[in-house]
Amino acid sequence: MKISIIGAGAMGGAMVQGFLKGNVFSSSDITVSNRTHKALDKFSQTGVNITTDNREAAANADIVCVAVKPWIAETVFKEIKPVLDYNRQILMTVVAGLPSEQITEWMKKDDGTMIPLFIVIPNIAIAECSSMTFITPIGADGRQTDMIKSIFDTTGSTLVVEEKLLPAGTILASCGIAYAMRYIRAASEGGVELGFKADDAKNIVLQTVKGAVDLLMSTGNHPEAEIDKVTTPGGITIRGLNAMEQAGFTNAVIRGLKLK
């Protein structure tokens, strides 16, 4: 199976890294296309095919994934439309906030035929095969959906959702990774103030966050149940938590998630 990714930026590049670590695609099955050569340089040692010709990339794959910024998407979709085989190929997009209705309007043939389409929203941790990826099939059958899901199952966790849930998933997981990073940064800065060197503080926070994630994943517990085990009555943990809440921690996170 061959995949072409059009747009070799942060997300396109991370997808290639993730796919190279997985066992679905070999490097020669992957083609990356970018308008400029500069963004393709980072793939030169990987064995993937590189090109600046989007049409060439689109014609030579089973799955064609558009991974450019939203304001460039229309140009790219319309550019590749004439070379796509609607009976053989699958079209995929990772463009956030671009509705299927809009893509269908661009891609539908004059006789109304539409290519099977998947809107896929990974996060940047796909590079480490640790993504949370949302998948929405549009006009695809169950076999095609299982196939696309099985690809992204190799790069982390997946959830097949209705399109109306994609904006929420994008915020919680794709933007969410930046929000998690910000907590890590804040805690690291606090660690420096407490007396650790910057690198030590960061590593301590990373291991601590990993520990929290491992505990919740393995027990399936609610975070508050694990917090209860840490908060000694009258102790320093509850004092810290209450001070953070007083400063608006939970409220600030929820407000950030609800911004559009």
Ligand X SMILES: O=C(O)[C@@H]1CCC=N1
State the Cα–Cα distance between residues 88 and 131, nearest whole angstrom: 28
Smallest Cα–Cα separation from 33: which of 127, 15, 23, 121? 15
- The one of ligand NAI, ligand X, none whose footprint includes residue 209, by CB under 5 to 8 A per kind, is none
Q: At what angle do helices 70-80 and 100-107 cross, to 10 degrees?
A: 30
- The one of ligand X, ligand NAI, none whose footprint includes residue 10, by CB under 5 to 8 A per kind, is ligand NAI
Smallest Cα–Cα separation from 90: which of 50, 58, 135? 58
Nearer to ligand X, 49 or 174 (CB): 174
* Nearest distance, CB of residue 149 and ligand X, angstroms: 20
Residues in contact with ligand NAI by the rule CB under 6 A: 6-12, 33-36, 39, 54, 67-70, 72, 75-76, 94-96, 121, 123-124, 174
Task: Please give the helix or strand (H or E) that residue 3 lies within, else none.
Answer: strand 3-6
- E strand residue ranges, 94-215: 117-121, 131-138, 156-160
Smallest Cα–Cα separation from 204: which of 190, 216, 226, 188? 188
* Nearest distance, CB of residue 178 and ligand X, angstroms: 7
* Nearest distance, CB of residue 114 and ligand NAI, angstroms: 21
State the Cα–Cα distance between residues 49 and 146, nearest whole angstrom: 26
* Nearest distance, CB of residue 35 and ligand NAI, angstroms: 4
**Binding map of ligand X across residues 155-184, x = CB under 6 A, - = no contact:** ---------------x---xx---------
Pair 14, 35: CB distance under 8 Å? no
* Nearest distance, CB of residue 131 and ligand X, angstroms: 12
Q: Using the rule CB under 6 A, which residue among 24, 59, 83, 96 binds ligand X?
A: 96
Nearer to ligand X, 177 or 184 (CB): 177
Sites of contact with ligand X (CB under 6 A): 96, 170, 174-175
